[in-house]
Structure 1
Amino acid sequence: MTTKQTIPSDEDLTAFIDGELTAEEAARIKAMVKEDESVAERLELLARASLPFKQAFAPLLSEAPREKLQAMLAAIPVQQSAKSASAPLFASRRRFLGALAASLVAGIAIDRAVIGIGARFSAKDENSEWRAVVADYVSLYTPESLVGPVPGRDDQAAQLAGLDEKIGLSLSPEAVSLPGIDFKRALLLQYDGKALAQIAYLDPETGPMALCIVKSDKGPKAPDLESRKGMNVVYWSNATHAFMLIGHAAADRITAIAEGVRGALSA
């Protein structure tokens, strides 16, 4: 049985799916898939998904060169079990050519990615749909996805400035600061043709947490709480934007955190 030290990371599994490992490394992953059910299940989840995985692992690839986003990862239904580790499972996956804008000083990247939702989008329930898509994406984060130093205030401000023009909202490090929770990076994603800002954090108690913002003309809505993908979500909106805070923190704690950031964003 594999040990905690030898279990492959999501980055390794994604590289395996994309055919980026050496023959020796690939053979090691295949052996783990056969002997460890948890590794097989994680591999199958990553193989099924249609999200920009490399954006999730940007801090681990801080030395990668800057490239333009060339393609989005298409949704490819896979029926085979990952335990078989057969060639068709991986051959059916479209290679994702990602954009990684890395900071060699802070090890933090501002990424542009596309979350493709196709026909699933419903204009009648836009707010619910975007939260579902974000929850699918955030559920793939692990604490290891957000390793690296906490950027200084100037670096945070620079990352947030890259979001301002796209989402039409001026964000400062103070406005998006969460008490006792580390700011890790700012991401510019795209949802149904609209800019989606995601600020990723690492909570020392419960792991990854994210504040997400999109433009919205649905009007103001008081904060509400829901559960998605095993995480708690507090969501609200004002006249111009919709917001959500998502993470594994308990309902009362994440509600209190959301109330604080909501007040700061309204100030």
Structure 2
Amino acid sequence: MNRKYTIPSDEDLTAFIDGELTPEEAARIDAIVNEDESVAERLEFLARASLPFEQAFAPLLAEAPRAKLQTMLAAIPVQQSARSDPTPTFASRRRFLGALAASLVAGIAVDRAVIAIGIRKGFSAKDENSEWRAVVADYISLYTAETLAGPVPGREDQAAQLGPLDEKLGLSLSPEAVSLPGIDFKRALLLQYDGKALAQVAYLDPETGPMALCIVRSDAGPKAPDLESRKGMNVVYWSNATHAFMLIGYAAADRMMAIAKGVREGAA
């Protein structure tokens, strides 16, 4: 399809959402949104998500190559807001995202980053179960093998990382319960989604790369395992009476289903 316009970047769409564009630029993007369904869907997704990026990735930025980042940030144009605030919220966010991108290119691991994932709108149980998987997939897609590099924690360290997850989610996750055959346990994180605790156990599959098991409380009721594709990864998801689970990774669908079967017997 030949378009007579340039698709807006996520940066442009976020500036549109935050009211940081000139009236002419805002009108241009509004016209594109009305004409292009894919742009409208992306705008809706960005409008729903409110991610405190700077707090979440503070450990990563602390280790970043500052001289290189400063050079890259200096090249990022910052549009002044018409509001009285001398440092617009989006300007700060734009500078931070530039630093984050540079850090990821440099291969710096995101270690023990705690991300609070907030959604501005309420959802029914069905929509919520789909939405949290979409948000998690966006986050996991940032992982590389280098992100999860390093030695495999010993059993005691694994148990110590899993402990806070047990307390917040009302589960009993032993290292044995979340062990995946032939796949290395790397770390367990306690995140937050829509005001609820979200457990993430990250793994590194020597064959296909990053993999993660994520769990949230859910009152949607039991659901048999199902399969979907998100961000180039396969997702197996299911739920019991109290929790929703998802296993996400780059392994083939049949292998993911087989791995998830073992997880269900151990952790669910």
1:144 pairs with 143, 146, 159, which one?
146
Aligned counterpart, 1:14: none
- TM-aligned CA deviation for residue 63 of structure 1: 8.4
Instruction: After superposition, give the CA deviation of every residue in 1:86-129 in whole Å (9 maximum; x if it has no partner).
Output: 33289341659xxxxxxxxxx9965533013323x522411111
Aligned to 1:171, what secondary structure does the other structure show? coil
Aligned to 1:130, what secondary structure does the other structure show? helix
For the Cα contact (< 8 Å) 1:184–1:202, is it kept in 2? yes
2:158 & 2:110 partners in 1: Cα distance? Answer: 9
1:93 maps to 2:102: no
Counterpart AA for 2:76: S
Q: Which stretches in structure 1 are left out of the alignment for 5+ residues?
A: 1-47, 65-81, 97-106
**Residue 190 to residue 231, structure 1, CA distance change in 2 (3 Å):** same
2:241 pairs with 236, 239, 242, which one?
239
**Residue 109 to residue 140, structure 1, CA distance change in 2 (3 Å):** closer
Aligned to 1:200, what secondary structure does the other structure show? strand
**TM-score, with normalisation over the residues of structure 1?**
0.63
1:143 & 1:240 partners in 2: Cα distance? Answer: 32
Counterpart AA for 1:86: I
Aligned counterpart, 1:128: 130
2:211 pairs with 194, 198, 209, which one?
209
For the Cα contact (< 8 Å) 1:212–1:244, is it kept in 2? yes
2:110 & 2:138 partners in 1: Cα distance? Answer: 22
**Residue 131 to residue 252, structure 1, CA distance change in 2 (3 Å):** same
Aligned counterpart, 2:17: none
Q: Which stretches in structure 2 are left out of the alignment for 5+ residues?
A: 1-48, 65-71, 80-89, 98-108
Percent identical among aligned pairs is 72
For the Cα contact (< 8 Å) 2:50–2:118, is it kept in 1? no
- TM-aligned CA deviation for residue 206 of structure 1: 0.8
2:160 & 2:248 partners in 1: Cα distance? Answer: 23
- TM-aligned CA deviation for residue 156 of structure 1: 0.1
**Residue 63 to residue 163, structure 1, CA distance change in 2 (3 Å):** farther
For the Cα contact (< 8 Å) 2:57–2:110, is it kept in 1? no
1:162 maps to 2:164: yes
Instruction: After superposition, give the CA deviation of every residue in 1:49-77 in whole Å (9 maximum; x if it has no partner).
Output: 9464886796x78989xxxxxxxxxxxxx
1:198 maps to 2:188: no
Counterpart AA for 1:122: F
Aligned to 1:93, what secondary structure does the other structure show? helix
1:150 & 1:203 partners in 2: Cα distance? Answer: 12
- TM-aligned CA deviation for residue 162 of structure 1: 1.5
For the Cα contact (< 8 Å) 1:186–1:197, is it kept in 2? yes
Question: RMSD over aligned Cα, in angstroms?
Answer: 3.2
For the Cα contact (< 8 Å) 1:196–1:214, is it kept in 2? yes
1:251 maps to 2:253: yes
1:108 & 1:194 partners in 2: Cα distance? Answer: 22
1:168 & 1:117 partners in 2: Cα distance? Answer: 23
**Residue 259 to residue 62, structure 1, CA distance change in 2 (3 Å):** farther
**Residue 110 to residue 172, structure 1, CA distance change in 2 (3 Å):** farther
Counterpart AA for 1:129: E
1:226 pairs with 228, 249, 258, which one?
228
For the Cα contact (< 8 Å) 1:217–1:241, is it kept in 2? yes
Q: Which runs of 4+ in 1 moved over 6 A?
A: 60-64
For the Cα contact (< 8 Å) 1:157–1:173, is it kept in 2? yes
